[in-house]
């Protein structure tokens, strides 16, 4: 029996089962083994970031949202094969907790209300949009030469699958009821995951 099958059997014995949440329906992902990060000096990493081992033949890929058997959801940030003697024996992945679900909306047309103010009409891009929403991290900007007076204008970051196709000026509405405007979309920071810089959305 190959090492890859040995590892898969071990994961089935000691690991956590998970499913992949896709628009076409849930897909069985198998079993994984994960480790909590112990960098307690970095709250984001401690609370949201875990490393996991997937079986060699999992169909999960970067950009997927997976759900553990206990209901927790995570976004697959990357997927790296572990090789031994030219054989993939397992897959090492990084997971970010999908701590929000909500609706992604896009302005389609603009109308005028009774006071002649422009009001956009919203169309739904995705109605059940799982993502990671967190305060913007110091030192993660791609533009490190930003003027001091502009720091903090965009206070939230949203990580979500690239397959959704988020665009600047979209609106993200978590189930908790807030409204966020997508100010900027960074598409090449992570494979198959977009990073959105958000601001409070005061549009009608």
Q: What is the pTM of this model?
A: 0.84
pLDDT interval class at 143 (50, 70, 90): very low
Longest Cα–Cα distance of the chain, Å, equals: 74
pLDDT interval class at 144 (50, 70, 90): very low
In the predicted structure, residue 112 carries a pLDDT above the cut 60: yes
Q: Which CATH superfamily is domain 100-200 in?
A: Bacteriophage SPP1 head-tail adaptor protein (2.40.10.270)
Mean pLDDT of 64-68: 96
In the predicted structure, residue 148 carries a pLDDT above the cut 70: no
In the predicted structure, residue 128 carries a pLDDT above the cut 80: yes
Task: Say how far apart CA 34 and CA 16 lie, in whole Å.
Answer: 8
Per-residue pLDDT at 139: 47
pLDDT interval class at 41 (50, 70, 90): low
Ranges 66-70, 83-87, 132-136, 177-181: which has the least confidence = 132-136
Domain 3-97 has CATH 2.30.30: no
On the question of a common fold for 3-97 and 100-200, the answer reads: yes
In the predicted structure, residue 200 carries a pLDDT above the cut 80: yes
The total of other beta-carbon atoms located within 10 Å of residue 79's CB is 18
The total of other beta-carbon atoms located within 10 Å of residue 70's CB is 8
Delimit the domains of the chain by residue range.
Answer: 3-97, 100-200
In the predicted structure, residue 166 carries a pLDDT above the cut 60: yes
- For the chain, what is the mean pLDDT? 86
Closest CA to 164 of 97, 82, 101, 119: 101
Per-residue pLDDT at 147: 44
What's the pLDDT tens digit per position in 14-23? 999 999 999 8
């Amino acid at each position: 029996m190959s090492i890859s099958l040995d590892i898969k059997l071990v994961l089935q014995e000691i690991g956590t089962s998970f499913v992949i949440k896709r628009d076409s329906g849930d897909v069985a992902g198998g079993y994984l083994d994960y480790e909590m990060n112990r960098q307690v000096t970095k709250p984001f990493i401690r609370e949201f970031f875990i490393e996991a081992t997937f079986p060699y033949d999992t169909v999960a890929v970067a950009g997927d949202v997976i759900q553990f058997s206990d209901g927790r959801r995570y976004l697959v940030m990357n997927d790296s094969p572990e090789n031994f003697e030219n054989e993939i024996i397992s897959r090492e992945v990084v997971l970010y907790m999908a701590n929000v679900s909500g609706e992604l909306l896009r302005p389609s047309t603009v109308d005028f209300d009774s006071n002649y103010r422009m009001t956009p009409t919203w169309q739904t891009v995705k109605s059940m949009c799982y993502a990671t929403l967190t305060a913007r991290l110091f030192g993660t900007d791609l533009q490190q030469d930003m003027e001091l007076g502009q720091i903090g204008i965009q206070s939230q970051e949203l990580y979500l699958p690239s397959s959704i196709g988020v665009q600047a000026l979209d609106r993200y509405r978590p189930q908790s009821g807030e409204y966020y405007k997508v100010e900027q979309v960074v598409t090449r920071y992570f494979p198959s995951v977009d990073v959105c810089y958000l601001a409070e959305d005061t549009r009608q």
